[in-house]
Amino acid sequence: MPIKRLREYLDSHSVRYFVVSHSPAYTAQEIAAAAHVPGRELAKTVMVKIRGRIVMVVLPASRQIDFVLLQKLAGIEDIVLADEEEFSDLFPECEPGAMPPFGNLYGMEVYVSEELEEDDEIAFNAGAHTELLRLPYRDFRRLVSPVVGRLAMKEKGTP
């Protein structure tokens, strides 16, 4: 079970969470629809390289990274999208592209879009393309200690 490590970690920190099983889905929009979770409440994990170091960027499924905002938040200009070959071996228990946003379990820094703080809960892939975890955002933030800031592009038609 891909999420065993994460479940053990959450259990050891007395975090209440829910597992949401759904039919196989691979894009953030497909996952949100299959699991009946609004796209703005579903967090997706995007892997980037900051000065050659792999880090996680977590943002609502309905958004895309604004690299200029991420550069400002990180205080570094050398940021590029990571190729899957560069990070897939870092998550051996996860299906490709389904890694949970708990970079602390993998020794990596995590950047989170401030938009995710607007909801009481966070939902995300939990290592498989058929399962999500939902838990209180405050527990996620307490355990992961992410860098939080504005880093997502606005949707078309919004100011």
Name the stretches of the chain with pLDDT < 50.
1, 156-159
- 0.85 exceeded by pTM: yes
Give me the pLDDT at residue 36, please: 79
Give me the pLDDT at residue 2, please: 52
Instruction: List the domains of the chain with CATH numbers.
Output: 4-149 (3.90.960.10)
SS3 string, the chain, reads CCCHHHHHHHHHCCCCCEEEECCCCCCHHHHHHHHCCCCCCEEEEEEEEECCEEEEEEEECCCCECHHHHHHHHCCCCEEECCHHHHHHHCCCCCCCCCCCCHHHHCCCEEEEHHHHHCCEEEEECCCCCEEEEEEHHHHHHHHCCEEECCECCCCCCC
Give me the pLDDT at residue 159, please: 43
